[in-house]
């Protein structure tokens, strides 16, 4: 998951994780301070898929 702000590859730190009906929502903070929200879902083979659902300013 590359930071949309500074472009760093996956240097984000997980702030918190919440279980939701679709899977888990994770709040991440990059080294540059940008917070993003990602949704983690599992497919039928239990493979996790991550997508950024919202990026806070
Ligand atoms: Zn960043």
Whole-number Å distance, alpha carbon 21 to ligand 1 midpoint, is 28
Identify the burial level of 50 via C-beta atoms within 10 angstroms of its C-beta, where 0-12 means exposed, 13-18 middle and 19 or more buried: middle
How many domains are contained in the chain?
A: 1
Whole-number Å distance, alpha carbon 4 to ligand 1 midpoint, is 7
End-to-end CA separation in angstroms for the chain: 17
Asked if residue 22 belongs to a domain, the reply is yes
Cα–Cα distance measured from residue 25 to residue 20, given in angstroms and rounded to the nearest whole number: 7
Residue 46: domain span: 13-55
Asked if residue 6 belongs to a domain, the reply is no
Whole-number Å distance, alpha carbon 32 to ligand 1 midpoint, is 4
pLDDT score for 46: 93
Question: What is the reported pTM?
Answer: 0.72
Whole-number Å distance, alpha carbon 29 to ligand 1 midpoint, is 8
Asked if residue 49 belongs to a domain, the reply is yes
Whole-number Å distance, alpha carbon 38 to ligand 1 midpoint, is 14
The tens digit of pLDDT for each residue in 4-26 reads 789 888 677 899 999 999 999 99
Asked if residue 42 belongs to a domain, the reply is yes
């Amino acid at each position: 998951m590359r930071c949309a702000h500074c472009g760093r590859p996956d240097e984000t730190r997980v702030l918190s994780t919440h279980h939701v009906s679709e899977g888990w929502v994770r709040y991440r903070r990059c080294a540059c301070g940008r917070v993003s929200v990602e949704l983690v879902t599992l497919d039928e083979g239990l493979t996790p898929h991550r997508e950024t659902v919202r990026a806070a300013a």
